[in-house]
Amino acid sequence: MNLPIGENIRQLRTEAGMTQRALAYELRVSIQAVSKWEQGRSYPDITLLPLIASLFSVSVDRLFTI
């Protein structure tokens, strides 16, 4: 089952005018990790979800909604 979280992160990131590099820096992860999330090749660690949601001023649930 493919979760839409990567697509949602990409959409929120681009709407915020943020690069993958900037997001990676804020989350203390590699640029490659952000790229993999956005491509649907992996998912962020569950402990990062509240931080990601907070960065984009959305709920954690919003990261998973289509």
State the pLDDT at residue 1. Answer: 63
C-alpha 15 chain-centroid distance: 12
- Note the pLDDT tens digit of each residue in 3-21: 899 999 999 999 999 999 9
Query: For the whole model, what pTM was predicted?
Result: 0.92
- Note the pLDDT tens digit of each residue in 33-57: 999 999 999 999 999 999 999 999 9
Mean per-residue pLDDT, 16-37: 98
CB 8 within 8 A of CB 51: no
Domains, the chain, in order of start with CATH, read 5-58 (1.10.260.40)
User: Which segments of 1-66 does DSSP mark as H helices, in order?
Assistant: 5-15, 20-27, 31-39, 49-55, 60-64
State the pLDDT at residue 7. Answer: 96
Burial environment of residue 37 by CB neighbours within 10 A (0 to 12, 13 to 18, 19 or more): buried
